[in-house]
A and B are shown apart, each in its own frame.
Chain A
Amino acid sequence: MNNPDYMEAREYGEDVSLDEERYSNLSGFHIKPLYGPEDIPKFDYGTDLGLPGEYPFTRGIYSTMYRGKPWTIRQLGSLGSPSEANRRIRQLIQMGSTGVSICLDMPTIMGRDSDDPMSEGEVGSCGGVAIDSLEDMRNLMEGLPLDEISINFVSNSQSPVILAMFVAVAGEHGIPLAKLNGTMQNDILKEYQAQKSYYFPPRPSMRLTIDTLHFCSEDMPLFNPISISGYHLASAGATPVQELAFTLANGFTYIEEGIKAGLSVDSFAPRLSFFFKAHNNFFENIAKFRAARRIWSRTIREKYKAGDPRSWRFRVHTQTSGSSLTAQEPENNIMRVTIQALSAVLGGTQSLHTNAFDEAFSIPTPRSEKLALRAQQIIARESGVINTADPLGGSYYIEALTNEMESVSYEYFREIENLGGVISAIEKGFYQSAIADSAFKYQEEIEKKKRIVVGLNEFVTDEEVDIELREPDPEFEKQKVADLIALKKNRDLNVVKTCLNEVRQVIQGSDNVMPVLIKAVKSRVTLGEIINVMRDIFGEFREESIY
């Protein structure tokens, strides 16, 4: 057909061959030109899809999904000093955020106080809050209605201490633990696999995690003590299907460890939540969510014998893909984020963070942050996609893609099992090499132009980027260190010593560490001091660098 609408001023790309590679997605699946009923041959509506809110939850974990209640808009809100962060959080809540994520600065992430020599130059970095002591947590939570909002702590290896501080401050606010709503990331497995902010070897770290799970399952039933994260795996280079498989495998590992520690699966499984990335590849992303729900509910019900339907629900927070955003022509990132956010919504996420367009330069300015928030509000209020649950259900392409993601995931599960399980696979370097391979392939594809990034390797302009950046405040570090030194002086050193000894004792035994930690933080023992004791006993983990 000779349609002149198709005559173009410039031919895009090479000759069209129905070249397989060109039509593959991020996970490497070859996409067919057309999907029809024959691509889902053994499709059974009842067993494969069911209805939203019903097992196996493929179509969504709640029956009316966004019609009943929109997803939580959960934007990251942080700034170096706890009191400034507090101000930002209040602003975000006023602008319409219904939940807040708080991330920590580099030293806190690495379990070091602001006055630690290794912290120099990094206090308040990356838009994270510097938390050294209970004082900081108190300033961070000043005036916040803790029983009305949902707070997500992006904390991992330091979680037991952060949790202890949060519990102590909630107590000061007079809020019963049972009313506290929120999440803690607290996923150490992905640290070894991708983010690398681990301290001790996997097994003692796992013990600490299980202690927090146990504590929350008994005293903080509304709190999600762990957010099993695929986002970081994907950022490190994992493909969407790897993100899916590895995250779920990690989830199953936590289940197994909890059961081993004597917990009944239904006592903690309902509060496990997940954290996914919304990639650029629109449909692949949507299929990933649906496959995740189906695999999780089937496995947890059939393999781990969970009886409570709330245990079967795969609840997920999503963040749009930071690594897909460019430094070149940053306005383009607004479009990318919008499309990624839409795919997360069509995938059925429970909460969503959209990145700001200046992601590749610095942490967001108030203006870029607001734009990111608006994208979610526009999707929620204007696009009509919330009117019905799982609108793409039944699409041959989506169902076929969902099936394929599921079956490749099971292949990965088998491979990990053969290696002796997740922790064993970590120790054997399986994740490091799988992810490094994917990351390298991705870069190669960009350099060979098999994968196009607009403004980067195609349609490149030589422009001067002129956007305002948020600058870190060098004075802040000085002040923070000074405050910390003062705090350390003004406490009862005997009490501190006793507390640290108690920490030393409890981690060598098998009792739950939380009560001891809570007592310690109340006595103004710092985060770094606690972690250092643990480092002393558990040792530091050194990974073999595989690239």
Chain B
Amino acid sequence: MVGERKKRILIAKPGLDGHDRGAKVVARALRNAGMEVIYAGLHQTPLQIVNTAVDEDVEAIGLSILSGAHKTIFPKVMALLKQKGISDILVFGGGTIPKKDWGKLKSMGVGEIFPPGSDTRKIAAYLYKVLEEKN
């Protein structure tokens, strides 16, 4: 719609893992779905991610984690956001994050987790829905 600002999303790969196929495909899919996507690239620290999110004024951060380090990284990101007094950025994620860990993540304030086999259209729809509701 004319005048309406495109949703800005940051996609990042925290930690040391370099397998970025999923993150890239999702980034492109979200772009095709009409969002503005900043792909932060590889080997990002939680601090780098949060700083980029602030600088780029994004509405949501998507973290791609395949290494099992989600139990360390998500809490760090959430803590940093809190520290900076940011409460309106949605944090969501994807990768090999077992279902049994989702509850804990959600209780920290993390949004939806998209496991292997997720449909990118669903991710886009989710983002649109949640970000609309926030506004």
Do the two chains touch directly in the complex (Cβ atoms below 8 Å apart)? yes
* Cβ-based interface call for B67 (8 A): yes
Q: Quick check: A543 and B115 within 8 Å, CB to CB? A: no
Residues of A near B121 (CB, < 8 A) are: 447
* Cβ-based interface call for B88 (8 A): no
Q: Quick check: A122 and B21 within 8 Å, CB to CB? A: no
Count CB-based A-B contacts (< 8 Å): 100
* Cβ-based interface call for B116 (8 A): yes
Report the Cα distance A120→B120, complex, angstroms: 30
Report the Cα distance A162→B99, complex, angstroms: 36
**Nearest CB in chain B to that of A232: its residue:** B19
- Given the known inter-chain contacts A196-B42, A547-B28, please indicate yes or no for A447 contacting B119, CB distance below 8 A: yes
Partner of A440, one of B20, B28, B39, B69: B28
Q: Quick check: A126 and B67 within 8 Å, CB to CB? A: yes
Residues of B near A126 (CB, < 8 A) are: 17, 66-68
Residues of A near B66 (CB, < 8 A) are: 126
Report the Cα distance A112→B45, complex, angstroms: 14
* Cβ-based interface call for B104 (8 A): no
Report the Cα distance A326→B118, complex, angstroms: 11
Binding site for B on A (CB under 8 A): 106-107, 109-110, 112, 118-122, 125-126, 191, 195-197, 235-237, 323, 326-328, 360-362, 436, 439-440, 443, 447, 453, 456, 465, 469, 472, 542-543, 545, 547
Q: Quick check: A447 and B120 within 8 Å, CB to CB? A: yes
Partner of B20, one of A119, A121, A196: A196
Q: Quick check: B15 and A327 within 8 Å, CB to CB? A: no
- Given the known inter-chain contacts A447-B121, A456-B117, please indicate yes or no for A110 contacting B24, CB distance below 8 A: no
Report the Cα distance A3→B102, complex, angstroms: 51
Interface residues of B in 95-127 (CB under 8 A from A): 96, 98-99, 115-117, 119-121
Q: Quick check: A121 and B15 within 8 Å, CB to CB? A: yes
**Nearest CB in chain B to that of A436: its residue:** B24
Q: Quick check: B43 and A110 within 8 Å, CB to CB? A: yes
Q: Quick check: A360 and B96 within 8 Å, CB to CB? A: yes
- Given the known inter-chain contacts A118-B45, A360-B116, A443-B29, please indicate yes or no for A125 contacting B18, CB distance below 8 A: no
Q: Quick check: B16 and A106 within 8 Å, CB to CB? A: yes
Residues of A near B115 (CB, < 8 A) are: 327
Residues of B near A453 (CB, < 8 A) are: 117
Report the Cα distance A237→B21, complex, angstroms: 7
Q: Quick check: B18 and A195 within 8 Å, CB to CB? A: yes
Q: Quick check: A361 and B71 within 8 Å, CB to CB? A: no
Report the Cα distance A361→B66, complex, angstroms: 10
Q: Quick check: A547 and B67 within 8 Å, CB to CB? A: no
A23 to chain B, nearest CB (A): 25
Report the Cα distance A252→B18, complex, angstroms: 25
Partner of A120, one of B20, B29, B72: B72
* Cβ-based interface call for B10 (8 A): no
Question: What are 25 sample pairs from A and B whose C-beta atoms fall under 8 A apart?
Answer: A106-B17, A107-B16, A118-B15, A118-B45, A121-B15, A122-B67, A122-B69, A126-B66, A126-B68, A195-B18, A196-B20, A196-B42, A197-B18, A236-B19, A237-B25, A327-B117, A328-B117, A362-B96, A440-B24, A443-B25, A453-B117, A542-B41, A545-B24, A545-B40, A547-B39
Q: A120-B72, A361-B98, A547-B28 are in contact. List 20 more A-B contacts (CB 8 A).
A: A106-B69, A109-B16, A118-B15, A118-B16, A121-B73, A122-B72, A196-B18, A323-B21, A326-B117, A327-B115, A328-B117, A360-B117, A362-B68, A362-B96, A362-B98, A439-B24, A472-B68, A543-B41, A543-B42, A547-B24
**Nearest CB in chain A to that of B31: its residue:** A547
Q: Quick check: B45 and A125 within 8 Å, CB to CB? A: no
* Cβ-based interface call for B27 (8 A): yes
Q: Bits for B1-36, please: 1 = Cβ < 8 Å to A, else 0.
A: 000000000000001111111011101110000000
